[in-house]
Structure 1
Amino acid sequence: MIVAGLGFSSQATASSLRAAFDQARTGQNVDALATVADKESHPALAEFAATAALPLHLITPDDLAGQRTLTCSNRSRATYGTGSVAEASALAAAGPGARLLSPRQISDDRLATCAIAIGGQT
């Protein structure tokens, strides 16, 4: 399974999420989206998930903590215990043995990030 993990600020729009997603997926056929569960009610996430027509996996903060990521945001580290919400969400949702296909990509407005992970078991 190929999962797009999303991280974003409270000011992010569906366009912010789309821009980060489009930069990150670069030709990959993504099977699902994932982000931290406390972002579930964000209107931009609901809009983007609906237009992307992909299932959304909500990851608990505990499942993000300690995920090894390629990049590090001080805010993500302080809030969730991981370097990147996007990378950690993708890895957690893709399952055991998952690996990142690339580090997180940042939308031009800098309000959203997206990283792609592939599951370790096919």
Structure 2
Amino acid sequence: MIVAGIGSASGVTAAEVLAAVDAACAAHAVEPSDLEALAVPEMKTDEPGIHAAAQILGKIVVVIGRAELEAAGAGSLTHSARSLKATGAPSASEATALAAIGAGAKLLGPRVAAGRVTCALAYDGVLP
């Protein structure tokens, strides 16, 4: 299972989210169709651009609470003071991807930034 964790500024569009997902998938030789879901921090629950992107991809959106985000943040490869202050995790996209997978989750690599969106891919130890 592979999950794309999304970090973003407020008001991002579906096109911006899709560009970040595509960039992360390309960076790690994964097809967007291989993704199980998009994961977002709880504070991004109401972002229409993220939900629209998930709908276009045919994926569900998994919402990660702050406590889960903070706990999963220990596995982050990227460290942003801005993300830490806003979400409690050094990388919102990396921590949400890890938290969505759960125990045994691994990042395919550091997050990929595309404009106002970051995307990180985590997997459960088994790649398609």
Q: Same fold (TM over 0.5)?
A: yes
In structure 2, distance between residues paired with 1:121 and 1:94: 12
Do structure 1's residue 81 and structure 2's residue 114 form an aligned pair?
no
Do structure 1's residue 115 and structure 2's residue 120 form an aligned pair?
yes
Equivalences, count:
120
Q: Comparing both structures, which one devotes a greater share of its residues to helix?
A: 2
1:106 to 103, 113, 119: 113
Maintained 8 Å contact 2:11/2:47: no
Counterpart residue number, 1:39: 44
TM-score, normalised to structure 2, is 0.87
Paired letter, 1:4: A
Q: CA deviation at 1:102?
A: 1.3
Paired letter, 2:21: F
Maintained 8 Å contact 2:78/2:110: yes
Task: In structure 2, list runs of 5 or more residues that go unmatched.
Answer: none
In structure 2, distance between residues paired with 1:70 and 1:117: 12
In structure 1, distance between residues paired with 2:120 and 2:25: 8
Q: CA deviation at 1:121?
A: 7.3
Task: In structure 1, list runs of 5 or more residues that go unmatched.
Answer: none
Counterpart residue number, 2:5: 5
Counterpart residue number, 2:58: 53
* CA deviation vs aligned residue, 1:10-64 (integer Å, no higher than 9, x gap): 1321111111100111232111110112211111112111111111110001111
